[in-house]
Amino acid sequence: MAVESQELESAATSDAVVREKIANLPAEVSDVNLLNKLQDLAAGRALCQKVEEALSMLEAYNKRLAEEMEARKAVARMLHDYIAYQKDLLAQAEETLEEHRQKQGKVKKVREELRAHLQNLPDISKLPNIRTGGLAPLPSAGDLFT
């Protein structure tokens, strides 16, 4: 894209000097009706020289315009492809976002269930300490079955 961009920066349509020269071409180089006003061979040769110069300048300018048009078409194709690529990336990102939102919802649900479960567990700090003898001794197996 850099080549086309550089071409467009020096494009024919932005060449004010050449465009001004074309706009200021004398009428006799483009109007056949003015040929009747030629008075001698020297004036005809001078006009012929002006016409050749104008033709050369116009051909070069038209060539540059055609090249600019092709460069603009290439840039337009690249922009179209880039936009399509960005749309694809956006669709992928939106899909990934939705997947992550669903996962987030699942994680939040697990967190809520875990908090509810923790609320239902007994507070161990309020139980008697086993090491200090706070609990009664366990019954023997014989006591359990008699």
Domain residue ranges in the chain = 2-89
pLDDT tens for 31-58 read: 888 888 888 999 889 999 999 999 999 9
Q: Kindly state the greatest CA–CA separation across the chain.
A: 148
Backbone angles phi, psi at 37, to 5 degrees: -85, -5
Helices (H), the chain: 2-9, 16-23, 41-120, 141-144
Number of CB atoms found within 10 A of residue 93's CB: 10
Mean pLDDT of 8-21: 80
Q: How far apart are CA 124 and CA 126, in angstroms?
A: 5
Structure confidence at residue 133 (pLDDT): 64
Indicate yes or no: pTM above 0.85.
no
